[in-house]
Amino acid sequence: MSDLAHTLDAVRRGMIPANIYNDSEIFSLETERLFSRTWTFVAHESEIPQVGDYVVRRVLQDSFIVSRDQSGGINAMFNMCLHRGMQVCRAEQGNASHFRCPYHGWSYRNDGRIVGLPFHKEAYGGEEGFNKKGQRLVPAPALDTYNGLIFISLDDNAPPLREFLGDFAFYLDYYTKQSPSGIELRGPQKWRINANWKIGAENFAGDMYHTPQTHTSVVEIGLFREPKAEKRKDGNTYWAGRGGGTTYKLPPGDLEERLRYVGYPDEMIERMKQTWSAEQLDVIGRDGFMISAASLFPNMSFVHNWPRVEDSDDVLPFISLRQWVPISENETEVLSWFAVDAEAPQRFKDLSYKAYLMCFGSSGMFEQDDVENWVSLTTTAGGTMASRLLLNSRMGMHTDDSPVVAPLTSEEFAGPGVAHVGYGEYNQRHLLREWADHLEREPERPAPTEMGLAKTTANGSSAAAATNGAAVTA
Ligand code: FES
Ligand code: FE
């Protein structure tokens, strides 16, 4: 068996070769076999509400301009000039009808179509020598949205986004659709940590076990109403489709009482009742589980929690979306957004933002606690001894692989997928099995797209456009 086959086999058994958290060859495989074909979140529609709005986001080294064009459409364009490859847009966000390349001045509309080449006639012989029609910045091979979340894939054979998400969409609604208007975002705050990208994704997917140890002080200073961090073991972890997460067990009560318990005002509760399905409401009202952190494969995470705010006994919920953007095998750029229901009262939005800042984001207490562990893990994983160590990620399984606790039945938990109460590394294993499935598939290498000078064909369209599928009608 090759080294890779050994690694993937061990991962599937819940025994993790420690070096997968800091290994340049593994990182090359992740670039080539995972991020080149999976769906990746790049932005939310509320970040580009107006015509001309744009943000620049990356999928590893590939930069994309995500724009709202003049007709209101959403585009994700590879941020590389068709001439000599300069990055066309250097700002992180803004509003523009056109983008002009800083190198020699080629300019593009905000839907990617090329409009101007300096000295077009003198340098290229005008339209005869260089027909601009049909030439545009290369669009992301696939783009789709769910609840306003914009995802792209670098693989034009990617399955439809909804199919990729699978039943995780059920849980995504708790974070991104609490009313018909959906969410609005603030941020992202961005920072870099010397940690491997997978660690954060695994942690948010299912690590309830770290809370009583890593975050004891946050609970002890009284930030939460619950007296003990051990309360986490009363919640469940669920996995459905391409994602999974953790929940807290709520005290007895009906739906309204339980949503009030975590700090939602009555008017928001009413909208949730009208927006969510009977099963989505049952998870909270009937079964008493409130969603907390979650991860969507490969590198997007969510958190929902309800700390005390303003020196009172009142708690207030917040939501954060985040992404672990890999920079290298041992460095990750964290993007952290605050999310809130667009229809929430302004006072709720303000206090919820404050709750988020206390817990997560660059000033958040949870964030500081977590990252110390992740950096230490990554550093140690880069050494010789780590390459010989299999880490134990088998919590929740006996040695014969039978589960320590039976999965919840549909009478106990109305959500789709598989859920277990108590501590277990079910979700970390699910996430890494997805990872292993991607890493074992040979990459397809699409032929380079012919860009730049296009030969004019008889019907006036460009040869490049005809072969790369990137054409739009000028
Ligand atoms: Fe963009 Fe030359 S590289 S105009
Ligand atoms: Fe944590």
Same domain, 416 and 283: yes
The answer to whether residue 216 is domain-embedded is yes
98-107, 310-319, 412-421: least confidently modelled range: 310-319
Same domain, 327 and 401: yes
Same domain, 53 and 198: no
pLDDT at 57 (0 to 100): 98
Same domain, 267 and 346: yes
Ligand 1 centroid from CA 110, angstroms: 17
Same domain, 122 and 271: no
104 in ligand 1 pocket by Cβ < 6 Å?
A: yes
The domain in which residue 241 lies consists of 167-439
Ligand 2 centroid from CA 423, angstroms: 14
pLDDT of 76-125, one tens digit each?
A: 999 999 999 999 999 999 999 999 999 999 999 999 999 999 999 999 99
The answer to whether residue 307 is domain-embedded is yes
Same domain, 225 and 272: yes
- Residues sharing a CB contact under 8 Å with residue 57, sequence separation 6 or more, in sequence order: 42, 43, 63, 64, 66
Mutate which of 87, 89, 90, 104 to test ligand 1's pocket (most atoms within 8 Å of Cβ)?
A: 104
Read off the pLDDT of each residue in 136-153 and give the average, rounded to a whole number: 97
The answer to whether residue 19 is domain-embedded is no
The answer to whether residue 162 is domain-embedded is no
pLDDT at 126 over 70: yes
Q: Looking at the CA of 246, which ligand is closest?
A: 2
* Residue predicted with more confidence, 421 or 450: 421
The closest residue, in CA terms, to atom 3 on ligand 1 is: 84
The closest residue, in CA terms, to atom 4 on ligand 1 is: 104
Kindly give the pairing relationship between strand 318-328 and strand 300-305. antiparallel
Ligand 2 centroid from CA 197, angstroms: 15
* Inter-helix orientation angle 197-206/365-381, to 10°: 130
Q: Looking at the CA of 214, which ligand is closest?
A: 2
Read off the pLDDT of each residue in 437-451 and give the average, rounded to a whole number: 79
What distance in Å separates the CA atoms of residue 383 and residue 32, rounded to the nearest whole number? 24
The answer to whether residue 306 is domain-embedded is yes
Same domain, 412 and 299: yes
Q: How many CB atoms neighbour CB 116 within 10 A?
A: 14
Same domain, 191 and 75: no
Same domain, 190 and 215: yes
Does ipTM top 0.90? yes
The answer to whether residue 188 is domain-embedded is yes
pTM > 0.90: yes or no: yes
Q: Looking at the CA of 200, which ligand is closest?
A: 2
Ligand 1 centroid from CA 117, angstroms: 9
Percentage above 90 pLDDT, the chain: 85
Mutate which of 63, 78, 101 to test ligand 1's pocket (most atoms within 8 Å of Cβ)?
A: 101
* Number of domains into which the chain is organized: 2
The answer to whether residue 261 is domain-embedded is yes
Same domain, 427 and 453: no
The answer to whether residue 23 is domain-embedded is no
Ligand 2 centroid from CA 83, angstroms: 46
Same domain, 350 and 366: yes
**H-state helical runs in 53-108:** none
**H-state helical runs in 48-196:** 120-124, 126-129, 161-165, 168-176
pLDDT at 450 (0 to 100): 58
pLDDT at 455 over 50: no
- The CATH number that applies at residue 74 is 2.102.10.10
Same domain, 299 and 322: yes
- The CATH number that applies at residue 226 is 3.90.380.10
